Amino acid sequence: MENTLTPPIFYLLIAWGIVTAVFVLLLIRRGVLSSHEDDQIFLDAAEEHMARAQRELVAKIDTLSRPLLISGILSGVLLLLAGGLWIYEGLRHF
């Protein structure tokens, strides 16, 4: 049985693993931040610090949206590229 994992495919899979790990860590971070977010808060003027904390939390969650989108798309593209290259190499040697 011939080894079909050529160096380019191997390097693509390593890159995919790293990007996917970053993507999962960002998802976990957003989930942790979202668990501390309240849907509704009824505050009076004396509790402005709580409202400020919620606004900061929402801002942190919003800043994670772009890196999440980019890392998710990059992970999918790298996986498709590695799979396509693996199939191409397999058909070429067949």
More confident of the two residues 1 and 42: 42
* In the chain, % of residues over pLDDT 70: 85
Angle 66-83-93 from CA coordinates, rounded to 5°? 155
Dihedral (CA of 61, 64, 68, 69) sign: positive
Kindly report, residue by residue over 74-91, the tens digit of the pLDDT: 999 999 999 999 999 989
Mean pLDDT of 47-55: 79
More confident of the two residues 20 and 34: 20
Token pair for 29: 């971070």
What average pLDDT does the chain have?
Answer: 87
